[in-house]
Chains A and B, each alone.
Chain A
Amino acid sequence: MARLLPDPTFYPSPGMAAEAPAESLAYVALLTQGTNGKKDALGVVDADPASPEYGRLVGRLDLPHGGNELHHFGWNACSSHLCAFAPNPHVERRYLVLPGTNSSRIHVVDTAPDPRAPRLVKVIEGEEVMRKTGYAAPHTVHCGPDGIYMNALGAPDGDGPGGIFVLDHETFEVKGRWERERGPQYLSYDFWWHLGHDVMITSEWGTPNMVKDGVNPELLLAGKYGNALHVWDLKHRTHLQKLELGAEQQMVLELRPAHDPRRAYGFVGVVMSLADLSSSIWMWFRDEVTGRWDVRKVITIPAEPADPADLPPLLQGFKAVPPLVTDINLSLDDRFLYVSCWGTGELRQYDVSDPTEPRLTGTLRIGGIVNRTPHPRADGRALNGGPQMVEVSRDGRRVYLTNGLYSPWDAQFYPDGIRGWMAKIDADPNGGIAFDRDFLVEFEDGLRPHQVRLQGGDASSDSFCYAE
């Protein structure tokens, strides 16, 4: 049903969104490890410090199946609906759309009327997704001005190409493939856009066949995983440029464009360099003179030496633990970039006011393949997993972390099994991060938390058309 006034969680600009009231709930994807008999779920965590249930799981919607491998999910509608060229501001932000990378199934969950008790309202089976799009393994969701955009890792046979498809943001009907001309793009992972420049950026991981059994050492050492970015004409849905990061850069994952629609740059995290196991953050940018897009490395995070006895078999030969940067997030004011090092168990905060010269302004440790750093609330008890999905509140003051990555990788890097937790960090507006000692959610065995979405939006849920 249409609203009389725009959805109050829509904001014309990132600056106005940063003034939004603090979130009181966080939604977290809870996935089962393969086929352990449990069902995947959407968890609801109380994020209101004034609530007696603060930092606790207060709601849970079980999905019909387990083993979907829920990863990224998103809202049906958001601030981009205020964009002048395709205005739909009276649509409500109330549905969460959760794709399963393993099942290709898409779940639509209604967070109204009771946000603590979300309801499943639609399941689109994987066969339908594959038939209508030619894609499989859907992964990331973004609410665009004219529909829900979702990407997929590959084709129904498990090979490539992966790409993007579109859903109607009210009926959730699968409308079909997005690309009109894909050029050399074959591998797929994340996608996002610069609405102010009519440009989309996509990144590269591997096809479903390349990732479903975990990191394949042969493919990795041969440099077969993704190592490029693709720039697209968002208006005409055509490929513009391929930006190569170099053959040794493997698995180019999370994309975080500047939120200010006037700015034409963003950051992407690379999981691993074959040269030294380091992770890196790259900045893409448009050259104002030529109009061409380019990319440069701005952060390198080295691997840490380690006793092979402390390492899983996959890493023993390297005598080092790689940082494994698997998620990054950018505050709405484009000032702070958060970097998750899932391998070493470190969260880093960089001031990227000058995106070409990031400054490390904060760091803390939790979990980690070797360190197993405890949480202040966990009484010295070792935690496994590491900071993985990282989500920043709209005002930039709070950062939420979960430790589950991807079931086949979890088993390779944390063979003792991921015991799921979710932590919250307080961020100083001038730089610096610290754990909220009252906030540590530990999930029941067999349920792994992945992406977090904050009620009303967060720093990776919305995009904006105005810079005011």
Chain B
Amino acid sequence: MTDTQLPWLSLLLLGAAHGVNPAMGWLFAVGRGLQTRDRRAVWRALGPLAVGHALAIAVAVLLAVSLRQVLPLRGLRWVVAAALLAVGVDGLVRHRHVRLGGMRVNARELATWSFLMASAHGAGLMVLPFVLGAAAPAPGGMHHHHTAPVLAAGAGSAGAIGVTAPLVHTLGYLAATLVLAVVVYEKVGLRILRRAWINLNAIWSAALIVAAVAAIAM
């Protein structure tokens, strides 16, 4: 594993971690399949879910990259850390009562739901520590960190980061969502929710707080 691969792998795995959460979409895909008695509905949900999730990540990344134009890196890290901390702490102290749709949604509504669900949970924010080095010193400069930021790892321009980082992340998200949706729909059944749906929101919130620390320390 080289320093140039590590941040991409991190983004990919982080995407998979998001996809594992039933609240991020695979359960919705299964629910649509069960409601319509049609396994194709499960598959048809995957595209819109992925598009929505990717957009949520892209918006956060592009916002950070744009902010980088006016803020010094250190300042940007503090802004991101503060945002991560706020969303993380908020998630720990109260539940969100997200009402973003119903059971019967078209592709656009499902993508919008996925976008809002990911955004509300700070999914995009969580990715930022991995891309925060957008204007960090070039490789071979003063400091190589173990989890080197994506751009510092030589990924190219800020614009390219805004596209490639969400895509890599979403690849991980889509893989996890697809596997879980199909396996639960075809084999396991929803009874598993009662035993296995651990409170990922609490873990997620804790992860946001850890990411806040990472954003500063990185």
Q: Do A and B bind each other?
A: yes
B102 touches A11 (CB 8 A): no
Known A84-B27, A261-B35, A261-B103: A2·B194 in contact at CB below 8 Å: no
Assess whether A83 is in contact with B97, with CB atoms less than 8 Å apart: no
- The minimal Cβ–Cβ distance linking A273 to chain B, given in whole angstroms, is 36
Q: How far is it, in angstroms, between the C-alpha of A23 and the C-alpha of B189 when the chains are bound?
A: 26
A139 at the interface (CB under 8 A from B): no
A115 CB-CB contact with B under 8 Å: no
A147 near B: Cβ within 8 Å?
yes
CB-defined contacts of B37 to chain A, threshold 8 Å: 262
CB-defined contacts of B94 to chain A, threshold 8 Å: 170
User: Are B27 and A6 within 8 A (Cβ)?
Assistant: no
In the assembled complex, B98 has its CB within 8 A of some CB on chain A: yes
Contact indicator A5/B199 (Cβ below 8 Å): yes
**Total chain A interface residues with beta-carbon distance under 8 A:** 39
B23 contacts the other chain (CB 8 A): yes
A195 touches B194 (CB 8 A): no
Which chain A residues lie closer than 8 Å to B201 at the CB level?
2, 90
Chain A positions 139-172 with a Cβ under 8 Å from a chain B Cβ? 145-147, 168-170
Distance of A432 Cα from B28 Cα, bound (Å): 39
Chain B residues near A262 (CB-CB < 8 A): 34-35, 37
Across the interface, which residues of A come within 8 angstroms of B34, CB to CB? 262, 466-468
Q: Is the CB of B101 within 8 A of A235?
A: yes
Mark interface residues in B83-109 (1 if CB within 8 Å of A CB, else 0): 000000000001111111111110000
Question: CB within 8 Å of B: which of A191-234?
Answer: 195-198, 234
A197 touching B193 in the complex, CB below 8 Å, given contacts A147-B97, A468-B34:
no
Closest to A148 in B: B97
- In the complex, the answer to whether B27 meets A87 with C-beta atoms within 8 Å is yes
Q: Contact at A195–B103, with CB atoms within 8 Å?
A: yes
- Per-residue interface assignment for chain B, residues 8 to 42, with 1 indicating a CB less than 8 Å from any chain A CB and 0 otherwise: 00000000000000110101101100110100000
B78 in contact (CB, < 8 A):
no
- Are A196 and B198 in touch, CB under 8 angstroms? no
**Given contacts A6-B194, A235-B101, A467-B34, are A84 and B199 in contact (CB under 8 A)?**
no
Q: Which residues from A are CB-within-8-Å of B100? A: 85-86
Question: Measured between C-beta atoms, what is the minimum distance from A178 to chain B in Å?
Answer: 11
Q: Is A13 at the interface (CB under 8 A from chain B)?
A: yes
Interface positions of A from 2 to 26, Cβ below 8 Å from B? 2-6, 8, 10-13, 16
CB-CB < 8 A to B146: which residues of A? none
Residue of A nearest to B205 (CB): A2
Cβ of A89 within 8 Å of any chain B Cβ, yes or no, is yes
Q: Is the CB of B95 within 8 A of A170?
A: yes
A419 to B105, CA, bound (A): 51
Please, which residue of chain A has its CB at the minimum distance from the CB of B37? A262
Q: Which residues of B contact A6 (CB under 8 A)?
A: 193-194, 197
Q: Are B104 and A197 in contact (CB under 8 A)?
A: yes
B30: chain A residues at CB < 8 Å are 84, 466
Q: A4-B198, A8-B194, A262-B37 are in contact. Are A84 and B102 (CB under 8 A)?
A: no
The reply to whether A467 and B103 contact each other, CB–CB distance below 8 Å, is: no
Q: In whole Å, how far is B103's beta carbon from the nearest beta carbon of chain A?
A: 5
Bound together, the chains give a CA A2 to CA B94 distance in angstroms of 8
A3/B199 contact (C-beta < 8 A), A12-B193, A85-B101 known: yes
A164 to chain B, nearest CB (A): 14
A465 to B99: give the CA distance in the assembly, Å.
Answer: 15
Chain B, 45-63, CB within 8 A of any chain A CB = none
A196 to B41, CA, bound (A): 14
CA–CA, A262 and B190, complex, Å: 16
Is residue A272 contacting chain B, with contact meaning CB distance below 8 A?
no
B187 part of interface (Cβ distance < 8 Å): no
C-alpha spacing A350/B51, complex, angstroms:
49
Chain A, range 337-368, C-beta contacts under 8 Å to B: none
Interface residues of A in 74-124 (CB under 8 A from B): 82-91
Report chain B residues within 8 Å CB of A169. 97
Chain B residues with Cβ below 8 Å from A2 are 95, 199, 201-202
A168 neighbours in B (Cβ, 8 Å): 97
Asked if A85 and B202 sit within 8 Å, CB to CB, the answer is no
* Distance (whole angstroms) from the CB of B21 to the closest CB of chain A: 9
How far, in Å, is B102 (CB) from chain A's closest CB?
A: 4
With A84-B22, A196-B103, A468-B189 known as contacts, the answer to whether A11 contacts B194 (CB < 8 A) is yes
Residue numbers of A with Cβ under 8 A of B are: 2-6, 8, 10-13, 16, 82-91, 145-147, 168-170, 195-198, 234-235, 261-262, 465-468
User: Would you mind naming 18 contact pairs between A and B with Cβ atoms under 8 Å apart?
Assistant: A5-B194, A5-B197, A8-B194, A10-B194, A11-B194, A84-B23, A85-B31, A85-B100, A87-B22, A88-B97, A89-B197, A90-B95, A170-B94, A196-B104, A235-B102, A468-B34, A468-B189, A468-B190
Q: 7 nearest interchain CB pairs?
A: A198-B102, A84-B28, A235-B102, A146-B99, A12-B190, A84-B27, A84-B31
